[in-house]
Amino acid sequence: MTDGGRSWGPIGVDQWIQGAAALGLEQRGPQVWLVGPCPGCGHELARDITAAIGVGLVDGAALDRLSITCNCGQVHAGRAADARPAGCGAAGSVQIVTR
């Protein structure tokens, strides 16, 4: 596994906002996942958000902020190999809005 050239640690708010725009929702059976490239390292991150968003959001409904931490599973320099979630340490929040 590779760290993609990024050491473990937090990223700036501007970098998080720009990168989080590429995250999307994916239906996996009855579950809803937030997926896409991590705003910090670019590796694939995936989080089951089914319980967080609840059931039956109507069009235009918005979930308050949902905290997300990179869980790409890749080893990043400066992070203990057994740390969980395994990832680059980038974290921030997203708002889920249905369309």
Please determine, for residue 68, whether its predicted confidence score (pLDDT) is greater than 90. no
The neighbouring-strand residues paired with 46 are 35
Say how far apart CA 72 and CA 85 lie, in whole Å.
8
Q: Is the pLDDT of residue 96 over 60?
A: yes
* CB proximity list for 82: less than 8 A, separation 6 or greater: none
Please count the CA atoms within 13 angstroms of the CA of 72 that sit on its side-chain side: 25
Q: How confident is the model at residue 2, as a pLDDT?
A: 46
* Residue 69, both tokens: 């931490």
pLDDT above 80 (res 4): no
pLDDT one-digit tens code per residue, 9-37: 677 788 888 888 899 889 889 888 999 99
> Which has more confidence, 94 or 65?
94
10 Å Cβ neighbour count for 5?
9
